[in-house]
Every structure is written in C-alpha cells, then in structure tokens.
C-alpha cells in the first residue's frame, strides 16, 4: 500500500468525524449580510482557526472593517506553495417557511437513488466545499504527521456580501499571503459523475443610468409627440444596444477582445454539452447571442450586454396617459480577456450620451467591475490536478468555462499576481442561495479524496 493509498483509506475511515465537523460548522449561523449574526460570523472564524491549529497551522483570526478573516500557514515544506481560499459566511435563509429541515440544524437525508443529502444553509456554499480541503489535509496529517506540500489558507466572512474587505486585506498582507497558486473549492462539477476545473470566467461591468426629458411628467393629450418621452428615449437606447445578429452595437466594444484559444475550443467540443437541452430547460430554443458562435461560446467566451431592469412612467393597474419625464435601466456587460471593464464603461456612456437629444440629459451610476480571467490549460499544477481528479472520478476531467464573473479572483490577480485553480464538487441542483440547500455526501467524500490526491500530485509538479 502506497502512502497515498493509506491517506485515502484514512479519509474514508474518518468520514463520520469529518461529517460531524461539517455539522458543527453549519450549526453556526454565519449570515454575513444580517448584522445580528455578526457574533456568529466571528464564532465561525474562530472555529476555523481552531481547526487549522489542530493541523499544526500557525492560524489566527484577523479583524477587518467587516467580518474577520482567518489566515493559517502550514509548516514550510519544499515544492509548490498553495493558498486555499474559502468563505465561512452563508446566504440568508429567508423564506424560512420553505425549508423542510431547519437551515442551521444539518441532517443526512437518504435519497431513493442511493445518494445522501447533507442539508443545511452552507452545506454546499461554501462550508461543505471548503471542509473537503481541510479534511484532506487532516488525513495527510494523521497518516504522515505533515502535509505533502506547503499549504496556507485564507477564509473570509463577507463573500456573500461582495467581499468589501478582501481587496484591502490582500493589499495589506500581500507578503504574508503570496503563494504559487490559489486553490478554490466553490464551483460545480460538470455533471454528477464528471469532475471539472473551471479555467475561464468572464469579466463584468455594471451600470445604472437614467434619462430625463421634460422637467416633469406631462399629459400626452396636451404634449403628445412634441415633448420627448423618456421611456421612448430609453427604449431607443436599449433597442440599439444589440444588433440583429446578437452582437453588441457599442462602437469599439469588441476591440481587443481575445478569441477563444484553440486549446479551450478543442476541450469544449469534447464536452458532452447539449445546446438544445440547455435552452430547452429554460423554455427557449433560439440562441440569442452572436450568430455563428456556439451556445457554449456565447455564454462562456463571448462578451455580452444584458439589461437587468427598467423603470419609467406608470406601470400600475389601469391606464395613465402620462409622458414620462424620467426612465432608467440597470445594465451589465460580461467581458472576455482583453476587454478593460473601465474602458467598456466609458464606451457605453459615450454610446448613450450620443443618443441623448441636446435638451435632455442622462445620469450614470457605476456599480462593480471585474476583469475576465483565463488560465492556461497546460499549466503544471492544472495538469497535475486534472490527472488526479480523473483518477479519483474515473472520468476525464472537464476543463470548463463559466459565463459568470469572480471578482475576488481578480483581486488576487491584481494585488498578488496570483492565478487560480477552481476545483469544486458541488452539483447544479444544490439550491445554494435558496431554501433547502444541500451537498451530496458523495461530493463531500470524494471531494476530500480528490484533494488528497491533488496534494499528492502537486509534490511532483
């Protein structure tokens, strides 16, 4: 029996205790966005510090302007140095009435197909996922007395609140936190059987704008046609945002946008993705993105503009013949590598301003940005992790993209120059952020085993 086999066996043996530790953590109601849970957030941080200390980590709870951070450093070991990032805070639990088990009283619920659900708020996002890594470290520690590579960990308590303290904390602790790569366990598998590493995510820039025409709402009988209608103007702007072929019509929008690398394209073509089913599951059949691009490209590798909400005029019951003087919208752009979010914001504003008549006006309100990121598919650590995952799950690991944005990893890149490896064991039906969140027991168990293998594989990287 190799050392690896012994550590895997230890991970199996300790599973019940691992679960008990997960239950302890779920029982701490660390909802970051609700002030009366602030003490619970600190308790979760202290709990994690103690776990790390039990692994001989030099661990501490660090205060921030918001909820505290937990930083822990394992003993120095030769080879690569990884920084594992996770978050101990969870989403609010409302509406409570929809939960079939209490959100902060975890339980194991056997399923007809042989799977068992670990229920509770945070069971998946991110308490269950982050513990797969800690428990893998514990198995190594128990068997060998140490970890196979140098490991640091960083846990924050404000991820569900937009991570306001993370950037300043990284900035202030750059030397303490810098490592060869960040490991994150906060993503999904490709499907129930297929492990995945997320290697590409889109950037983001979000914006609100409001146009003003007349100095008050007017009656359409008195002014109809001669007085500029703010909703009509807003509609013209929104209507002009995207071309008939699905592309974004803002001049310069695509300048510098990097085409999907051939390696990713080849990888994605291999993936069992059914575009028809993808759209069919949401009641659609016609891709709305750029013509000539596959659906996967449209959602993972191509930039887009999306309007998230509009307002203006009267939208209540019945009818009012008002000419609205104000109308606005919230809009965001998903970006790809090569597009600077701040430049895109400027281009958008120029585009809108050019459509505003001289006697009307527009105001803008900036919301957040995040840069797109794309990890090279042939990186040493990525290759090793991929092999380890494929061995554990006995399925070729998917190197996937995501159309979402991960601002915190932009912070790591920008402030510490670090790339990320996103390996998660969640499943699409985990109901994170919703009532009845769950994590599959197989996600938890095989997740721990996967990290055991990855830590071992990294010794050879």
**71 versus 241: smaller Cβ distance to a second copy:** 241
Shortest distance in whole angstroms from residue 110 CB to a second copy: 29
Shortest distance in whole angstroms from residue 138 CB to a second copy: 33
327: preceding bond cis by omega (within 30 degrees): no
Residues 198/436, Cβ–Cβ less than 8 Å: no
Please give the span between the terminal C-alpha atoms of the chain, in angstroms, as a whole number. Answer: 22
Tokens of 114: 């042989």
Beta-strand relationship, 150-156 and 81-87: parallel
**134 versus 241: smaller Cβ distance to a second copy:** 241
In sign, the C-alpha dihedral spanning 57, 168, 405, 252 is negative
Shortest distance in whole angstroms from residue 135 CB to a second copy: 29
**100 versus 285: smaller Cβ distance to a second copy:** 285
The secondary structure of 195-260 as a DSSP string is: -EEEEEE-EEEEEEEEEE-SSS-EEHHHHTTTSPPHHHHHHHHHHHHB-TTS-B-STTTTTTPPPP
Shortest distance in whole angstroms from residue 42 CB to a second copy: 25
**329 versus 408: smaller Cβ distance to a second copy:** 329
| Nearest by Cα to 203 from 392, 104, 106, 341 | 341
**214 versus 362: smaller Cβ distance to a second copy:** 214
Shortest distance in whole angstroms from residue 303 CB to a second copy: 8
**141 versus 202: smaller Cβ distance to a second copy:** 202
Q: How far apart are CA 358 and CA 19, in angstroms?
A: 65
**23 versus 278: smaller Cβ distance to a second copy:** 278
| Nearest by Cα to 180 from 9, 412, 407 | 412
**8 versus 432: smaller Cβ distance to a second copy:** 432
Shortest distance in whole angstroms from residue 158 CB to a second copy: 15
Residue 272 Rama label (left phi>0; alpha psi -120 to 50; beta): beta
**152 versus 206: smaller Cβ distance to a second copy:** 206
Q: How far apart are CA 252 and CA 328, in angstroms?
A: 24
Residues in the chain, total = 461
In sequence order, the 6+-apart residues with CB closer than 8 A to the CB of 453 are 4, 8, 388, 389, 391, 392
In sign, the C-alpha dihedral spanning 260, 262, 264, 270 is positive
Shortest distance in whole angstroms from residue 16 CB to a second copy: 35
Shortest distance in whole angstroms from residue 315 CB to a second copy: 4
Shortest distance in whole angstroms from residue 191 CB to a second copy: 15
b/e per residue 430-455 (b: at least 16 CB within 10 A): bbbeebbbbbbbebbbbbbbbbbbbb
């Amino acid at each position: 029996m190799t050392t690896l086999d012994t550590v895997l066996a230890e991970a199996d043996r300790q599973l019940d205790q691992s679960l008990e530790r997960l239950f302890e953590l779920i029982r701490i109601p660390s909802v970051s966005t609700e002030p009366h849970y602030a003490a619970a957030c600190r308790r979760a941080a202290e709990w994690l510090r103690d776990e790390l200390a039990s692994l001989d980590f030099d661990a501490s709870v660090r205060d921030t302007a918001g909820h505290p951070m937990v930083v822990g450093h394992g003993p120095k070991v030769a080879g690569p140095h990884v920084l594992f990032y996770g978050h101990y805070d969870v989403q609010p639990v409302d509406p409570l009435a929809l939960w079939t088990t209490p959100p902060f009283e975890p339980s194991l619920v056997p399923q007809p197909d042989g799977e068992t659900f670990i229920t509770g708020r945070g069971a998946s996002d991110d308490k269950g996922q982050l513990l797969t890594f800690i428990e893998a470290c514990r198995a190594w520690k128990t068997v060998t007395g140490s970890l196979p590579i140098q490991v640091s960990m960083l846990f924050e308590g404000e991820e569900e609140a937009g991570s306001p303290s993370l950037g300043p904390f990284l900035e202030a602790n750059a030397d303490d936190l810098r490592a060869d790569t960040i490991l994150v366990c906060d993503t999904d598998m490709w499907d129930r059987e297929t492990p995945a590493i997320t290697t590409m995510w889109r950037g983001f820039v979000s914006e609100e704008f409001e146009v003003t025409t007349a100095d008050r709402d007017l009656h359409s009988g008195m002014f109809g046609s001669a007085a500029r209608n703010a909703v009509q103007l807003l509609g013209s702007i929104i209507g002009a945002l995207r071309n008939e072929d699905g592309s974004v019509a803002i001049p310069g929008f695509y300048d510098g946008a990097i085409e999907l690398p051939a390696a990713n394209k080849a990888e994605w073509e291999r993936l069992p993705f059914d575009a028809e089913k993808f759209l069919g599951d949401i009641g659609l059949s016609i891709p709305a993105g750029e013509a000539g691009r596959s659906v996967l490209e449209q959602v993972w590798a191509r930039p887009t503009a999306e309007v998230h909400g509009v307002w203006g005029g009267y939208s209540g019951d019945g009818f009012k013949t008002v000419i609205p003087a104000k109308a606005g919208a919230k809009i965001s752009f998903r970006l790809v590598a090569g597009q600077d979010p701040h430049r895109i914001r400027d281009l958008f504003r120029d585009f809108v301003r050019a459509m505003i008549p001289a006697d009307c006006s527009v105001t803008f309100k900036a919301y957040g940005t995040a840069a797109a990121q794309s990890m090279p598919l042939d990186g040493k650590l990525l290759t090793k992790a991929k092999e380890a995952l494929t061995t554990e799950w006995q399925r070729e690991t998917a190197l996937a993209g995501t159309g979402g944005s991960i601002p915190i990893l932009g912070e790591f890149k920008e402030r510490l120059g670090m790339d990320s490896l996103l390996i998660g064991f969640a499943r699409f039906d985990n109901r994170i952020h919703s009532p009845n969140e769950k994590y599959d027991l197989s996600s938890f168990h095989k997740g721990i085993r996967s990290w055991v293998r990855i830590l071992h594989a990294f010794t050879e990287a």
